[in-house]
Chains A and B, each alone.
Chain A
Amino acid sequence: MNHDIYDDDYIRGILDSMKTIAMVGASPVNVRPSYFAFKYLAQRGYDMIPVNPGQVGKSLIGKPFVASLDDIDRAVDMIDIFRNSEAALPLVEQALKMTPRPKVIWMQLGVRNDDACALAENAGLKVVMNRCPKIEYGRLSSEISWMGVNSRTLSSKRAPVPTQGMRLSLHRVSVGGGDTAAADRAARLKDDKNNRS
């Protein structure tokens, strides 16, 4: 499948069905994007597991760090990779050995590894690359709209006031299949550049 642009339904389906998420590369430093995303997803009711060998013995907003995917004591639905793109391949290899197997590999904004992606998809896993689950959740629920971000969704329904731990409805009308015309162009330009070089 095309990993430049995702259909909203694809992302929606993943975020709606996941319960337990292991975040590899979660940072205890509160200005790192991984910390933001970890905290937000925990507040939206996901069972979050921080994975970072340098932080074992400590915890992230009350959740104890584990050193690696092998050290997780419960079934994991999704692996969220907050590492560089090269680290994604060995992580997917490791994820495929887990029982039960995770269903989704999610690579963070700026992280893309097409080999790792192919390996996971061939094993029947869903893959998202170069996206942030916090941003996507905030977008599809329109919670992100407070800062003028184009959620690219519409709804005439009254939404509840979000409280701690509440899962929000992601089932709004999508404007277009996935990304904006601008994002399409950015992807096209990137391809042009790759083809030229």
Chain B
Amino acid sequence: MTDRTPGFATLAIHAGAQPDPTTGARTTPIYQTTSFVFNDADHAASLFGLQAFGNIYTRLGNPTTAVLEERVAALEGGTAAVATASGHAAQVTALHQLLRPGDEFIAARKLYGGSINQFTHAFKSFGWNVVWADPDDIASFERAVTPRTKAIYVESIANPSGSITDIAAIAAVARDAGVPLIVDNTLASPYLIRPIDHGADIVLHSLTKFIGGHGNSIGGVIVDAGTFDWSRDNKYPILSEPRPEYHGIKLQETFGNFAFAIACRVLGLRDLGAALSPFNAFLFLTGVETLPLRMQRHCDNALAVAEWLAAHPAVNEVNYAGLPGNRYNELARKYAPKGAGALFTFTLKGGYEAGVNLVSNLKLFSHLANIGDTRSLVIHPASTTHSQLTDEQKIQAGAGPDLVRLSIGLEDKEDLIADLDQALRG
């Protein structure tokens, strides 16, 4: 069957999984165990020395989690993936393989507020310096490149603004600078955008959102595209030089085009310790099987609600890249032709006050700090996810004080519109 390439929905169900070798169980079992017995001393030594394929300890890898990792790697078109305890854990684990104290990375200004905090404050104590650039101004990335730059970081669809990033243009900047492009693909999911196809070298997700899709688990994942040559100019010694922890193994030499994923596992998970629980991996596996169905419905519902809001007299402006006339509509049609995602923001003519009233009047939408649930969600970013930012940072991140963010769920769109209608009437 090598002449047929299985499609996305087939991969979403089958990639990485096969019936359990001992029991024949068809659904991937939850291997809720900390550790795995060795056959003998030689087997143990081979596993610890990274010479054999097998399981040791769930902080390093787990058979349930491995199915999820291969599934996401297949959906993104990468060579390998590593699951982590959260999306934030994926970010720190990935960057830890690339940056030394005093190094820099360039990040798009329009990011999830938690990522802006992580980069600005937590990473400063590691001596990693974030340099901000404007995703709507590609030249600002070029200007930010210095000899200490080790990576460029963007979101494919930015949270909360829902703006679409010109991944290919920024990938070209990264290629010229000789650094990897890291794309947080949480909001798009590989169903809408596959960043690797547009030049990304590393893709990250908060699995918590659309891949899990049911609002029941926190998790993250790092996908290695297998495209970056880490040994070219000595800029990435973790990947190109002998590792003292493993008796002098050189990771890229040994593992080739999935060396970055191996580094994230055998150094990142081993030493930083942010492993995903096998139980959560199981829930994510259940979620990801329906990703294509859910994602399409999220987009179709979001477009209907956005169109309705855009025509409402109380609404000032709807920022949804799926709407014709939106400044990101052209990029949306290029990068995400199946839909511009579930998330968008809008401002109300009544300003801050009207936003607060809307949130409290809604009966079906849940007021909470998450996105990518089956349920429709609403939040006022300025007072929650982005509250730690300065006013200027809030506006730059697309989270001004008069703005409401919706994450449209899978309910009947007529019910969502009716709920917004009654809430706007007050």
Residues on A facing B (Cβ under 8 Å): 7-9, 30-31, 33, 35-36, 39-40, 43, 109-110, 132, 135, 138, 142-152, 154-161, 164, 173-177, 180-183, 185-186, 189
The answer for the CA separation of A45 and B159 in the assembled complex, in Å, is: 52
Q: Pick the contact of A154 from B14, B194, B253, B261 — CB < 8 Å?
A: B14
The answer for the CA separation of A143 and B47 in the assembled complex, in Å, is: 13
The answer for the CA separation of A156 and B24 in the assembled complex, in Å, is: 10
The answer for the CA separation of A191 and B46 in the assembled complex, in Å, is: 37
* B18→A149 contact, CB < 8 A: no
Q: Does B143 contact A (CB under 8 A)?
A: no
Q: Does B74 contact A (CB under 8 A)?
A: yes
* B74→A175 contact, CB < 8 A: yes
Q: Pick the contact of B53 from A146, A158, A173, A174 — CB < 8 Å?
A: A146
The segment from B78-86, B326-334, B346-354, B401-409 that touches chain A is B78-86
The answer for the CA separation of A185 and B181 in the assembled complex, in Å, is: 14
Docked complex: B45-80 residues within 8 A CB-CB of A: 46, 49-55, 61, 63, 65-67, 69-70, 73-74, 77-80
- For residue A142, which residue of chain B has the nearest CB? B18
Task: List, in ascending order, chain B residues with CB within 8 A of A9's CB.
Answer: 2
Task: List, in ascending order, chain B residues with CB within 8 A of A173's CB.
Answer: 1-2, 6
The answer for the CA separation of A8 and B63 in the assembled complex, in Å, is: 25
Name the distance in Å between A38's Cβ and chain B's nearest Cβ.
10
* A156→B70 contact, CB < 8 A: no
Number of A-B contacts defined by CB within 8 Å: 148
* B196→A146 contact, CB < 8 A: no
Q: Does B225 contact A (CB under 8 A)?
A: yes
Task: List, in ascending order, chain A residues with CB within 8 A of B256's CB.
Answer: 109-110, 132, 135
Q: List 28 A-B contacts (CB under 8 A).
A: A7-B2, A8-B2, A30-B247, A33-B253, A33-B254, A110-B253, A135-B255, A144-B53, A146-B63, A146-B66, A148-B69, A148-B70, A148-B81, A148-B83, A150-B15, A150-B70, A150-B73, A156-B18, A161-B22, A176-B5, A177-B2, A180-B226, A181-B196, A182-B79, A182-B225, A185-B197, A186-B226, A186-B227
List 8 other contacts, CB 8 Å, given A31-B248, A35-B51, A146-B55: A36-B51, A40-B51, A135-B255, A148-B81, A148-B82, A157-B18, A182-B79, A185-B227
- For residue B228, which residue of chain A has the nearest CB? A186
- For residue B171, which residue of chain A has the nearest CB? A185
Q: A31-B246, A33-B254, A110-B253 are in contact. Are A149 and B70 (CB under 8 A)?
A: yes
